[in-house]
């Protein structure tokens, strides 16, 4: 990494205008600050990277990988500074989910696709990578390993939305890029009603 002592942020599907409204970030920022502050957040979100690699071995993104063959150069070429569309490379990186069976399938979310272990293997081989790390799904234990050890989902928000009861987790990689998992429980937070600033889930999970 260029800045090993820094913190690197990637864009997820919640770093979008629509999801900010649905899940309450817009409402909270407007309540505590003002419209200008929220607009600045949106501008930052639109310019966040969509993916990163670790030591040339691990591919990290929020959602998943495109279901069509792509290279890292294709991903670097995605235009930022905008909201994602309902389909395409940016949408897949933000919204896709792994599935246990081969091939692709429409996502249960209504946006993006589900991708099988064959798609993961093809993407990793084409880009000389070893592992896909992504987020985007609540997991009871905070993480899960799939696709023959080639895909890891890690979710660091314990007791998501104050209702799910899940553990959170994070990954530490050693010098050989082997993952070590650390799990943790939710801790008490200020007395704010769950989803207090949300504008409605609209069926999205």
Contact indicator for 142, 155 with CB cutoff of 8 Å: yes
Task: Tell me the per-residue pLDDT of 192-202, one tens digit each, with 9 for 90 and over.
Answer: 887 888 876 54
Mean residue pLDDT of the chain comes to 92
Domain ranges of the chain: 10-48, 49-184
pLDDT at residue 193, as a whole number? 80
Residues forming beta bridges with residue 205, ordered by sequence position:
none
Indicate whether 16 pLDDT > 70. yes
pLDDT at residue 200, as a whole number? 64
The class that CATH gives domain 49-184 is: alpha beta
Task: Tell me the per-residue pLDDT of 85-133, one tens digit each, with 9 for 90 and over.
Answer: 988 999 999 999 999 999 999 998 988 899 999 999 999 999 999 999 9
**Catalytic residue set:** 14
Contact indicator for 82, 46 with CB cutoff of 8 Å: yes
Alpha carbon distances (Å) from 92 to 89, 126, 178, 182, 192: 5, 17, 26, 27, 33
pLDDT at residue 205, as a whole number? 40
Alpha carbon distances (Å) from 194 to 31, 102, 137, 144, 185: 16, 38, 19, 26, 17
Query: Phi/psi of residue 118, each to 5°?
Result: -70, -35
Sign of CA dihedral 147, 149, 153, 159: positive
């Amino acid at each position: 990494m260029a800045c090993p002592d820094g913190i690197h942020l990637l864009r997820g599907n919640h770093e979008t205008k629509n999801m900010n409204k649905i899940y309450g970030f817009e409402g909270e920022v407007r309540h505590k600050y003002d419209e200008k502050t929220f607009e600045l957040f949106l501008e930052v979100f639109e310019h966040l990277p969509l993916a990163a690699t670790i030591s040339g071995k691990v591919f990290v993104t929020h959602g998943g990988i495109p279901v069509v063959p792509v290279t890292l150069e294709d991903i670097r070429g995605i235009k930022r500074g905008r909201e994602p569309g309902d389909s395409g490379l940016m949408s897949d990186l933000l919204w896709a989910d792994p599935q246990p069976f081969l091939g692709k399938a429409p996502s249960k979310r209504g946006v993006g696709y589900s991708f099988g272990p064959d798609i993961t293997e093809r993407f990793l081989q084409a880009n000389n990578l070893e592992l896909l790390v992504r987020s985007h799904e609540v997991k009871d234990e905070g993480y899960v390993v799939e696709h023959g050890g080639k895909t890891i989902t890690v979710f660091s928000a314990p007791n998501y939305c104050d209702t799910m009861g899940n553990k959170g987790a994070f990954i530490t990689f050693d010098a050989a890029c082997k993952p070590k998992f650390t799990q943790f429980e939710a801790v008490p937070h200020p007395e704010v009603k769950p989803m207090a600033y949300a504008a409605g889930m609209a069926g999205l999970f």
